[in-house]
Structure 1
Amino acid sequence: MFLSVFFKGSWLVQLIVGIGLFVCSFFLEYRVLSSFFSPQPLALLLAVTLECGKISAIIWHYYLHHLSDHEYPTTVRLISLFFRLGLVFLSLLCSMLFLSARLDRPGLEKVRTAELEAVEQRHEERLIEAERLYNARKVTAQAGQAQKRKAVQEQWGQRIQQLESLLLQEMGNTVRGTFRGPRYEEFAQRLAQEKTGQQQALMEFDRHAADAASMLAAEFRKEREAIEVATEQERKGIQELDYSEDKRANEPHVIAFLQVVESLWNRTLLPLQFVFLFSILISALLEAGIMLAFSTLTIAVVPVFMAHHQEAVEKETLKAHVNGEAERDDLLHGAAVHRVRRAGKRVVKEAEAHLKNAVA
């Protein structure tokens, strides 16, 4: 009684373990297949079919090799083995893909976003600093140009004032009310020339000042373009960088484990290498657990079912045999009765014939 309960309990535990691992394998396979197949119901149907086929393959493979009374063709056995191993390899591959995607630099997007935000912040700071320097240079240049323009204007203004003073003196040079300034025309002409010269000098100065302002603005635009180019290169570099050795992008537990390995055995492993090995380990354990659970369960339970099946087959065979014997006896009995009836009818006819002859 105790052994019966123990074995039934162990079978139940194996069944629970197998179903649990089967559900995990199905979930991983479905998540991976849903990334490759569309629509989603197709990926779900495919995952359910393949996982159920894997469990069925474990059972029928054991049946073909150990319990079948008939020798199945070699091709059937090879196809069954190929189908079984193919499903196991597919589940193993899907588990590795899922785990690798989850464990491979989980903080990559967060770190990359932070780096891009830092680049954008530096970009804004550079633009603000460049604009501040440009405005400072512009103010300084405008102040210097204003002083120089004022100096030019004062330089020409002094000569103009002297000529205007001489011109006024010459205009006051009269004899008996008659204008007698012989140099008036000369001073007036020189005054006009000085004013024209002043205007041309100021216009030339303004033109040079405008050119200097344009050059300063062009330098500012080039500096902005250089900042934009440098920032774009930084963005591109961040997008292309894989951060495979960046502690911020990798799983903290993985980094801690690798540091322990390096400190104990002086062996340096990359996070991606650990992720690959860890994914293989988990996937292999998952598939091995499924095969072990359902294989041992099949080995333990199928013989019992086969015994019940054989007993049922024997009963059905015996019942068919008995029914056949009874039917054969009924047929023989019917045939004998039919012969007796035919013989009786023949005897009656012969008796009637003799009776008629005797009467005649």
Structure 2
Amino acid sequence: MSALFEPITLRSLTIPNRIWLSPMCMYSAASEGPETGVATDFHLAHLGSRAAGGAGLVMVEATGVRPDARISPWDLGLWNDRQQDALARVAALIRQHGSVPAIQLAHAGRKASTGKANAGGGPLGVEDGGWPVVGASAIPFDDGYPTPLELTETQIAELVEDFASSARRALAAGFQVVEVHGAHGYLVHQFLSPITNHRTDGYGGDFAGRSRLAREIATAVRAVWPADLPVLFRVSATDWVPEQPSWTVEESVLLAKELQAVGVDLIDVSTGGLVPRATIAVGPGYQVPFAARIRREAGLPVSSVGLITEPAQAEAILADGEADAVMLGRELLRDPYWPLHAAKTLGVKADWPEQYGFVVAR
């Protein structure tokens, strides 16, 4: 039996294999009028094809819990009925192909209100369809970016409820897994790291203060999510900024333990994204050691991501106990049928969609 194709059960949900589609923004949602943030036919085709291609779990991209939470005007949202109904079609199609539908809920914080990343990105002014941004502290992301408004404690409480409200909608839309986005320099990560969190109230200072928002959001989401379905949390295990106080893998281990205590079932381990010019040692599987350490020291399941491209490589990560699942991003963009090709490479029987199978089997 291949470790990559062994089912995994989180709570009562069994996911058919350990190859999962990583959430990736497609900048293809409607951006104006009553359809703002609504998934389009592109999302249906894009996500449905990865389910048909054999991914065990298909996760919808970072989805804003409120209008100003989106990274860009072209990102998905989940704060109204139209958005919920459109995403229900996506979740149903994913399940139809035998995969588990998942969704990542997010707030971009100081990295919100930008142009499409695939068109150069950069901050968008209000006159160009953008909006004022908020953050843990009044520290801009980079030169030329706006200074965020520091969130008040009242606004933080409202934000926590926004995550819970979007989780309720995700459940009503048919999703079986929800993930809180706490990585890549977005709002929750901005609270976690001392680089971006200079607060002097109960949400700043030491680890307990900086991690408070992460715990409160995870607790609120868990409270509205069914007890038999899993909650995930994505973390950047390091800021890659060793020359100054920053978020570290040691603190990521501590956070994982605290999140497990409030009902999080798996930590989705990535790195970086907080600052624009970190020095990152990129190479095949370069983030796997962080996942392995969190798994080993925190004692809960993890997924790993980052330049995992070959079936034998992914198989070894799982067989060696470094992760419980692999999140594939670019590789599943290149080849939606990577899981089925990997099964053949590893000698595992896997069924192609019946519409294709009779041709592929020749």
Give the TM-score, by structure 2 length.
0.21
Q: Larger relative contact order (C-alpha < 8 A, sep ≥ 6)?
A: 1
**More helix by percentage:** 1
Larger radius of gyration: 1
TM-score (structure 1 length as normaliser): 0.21
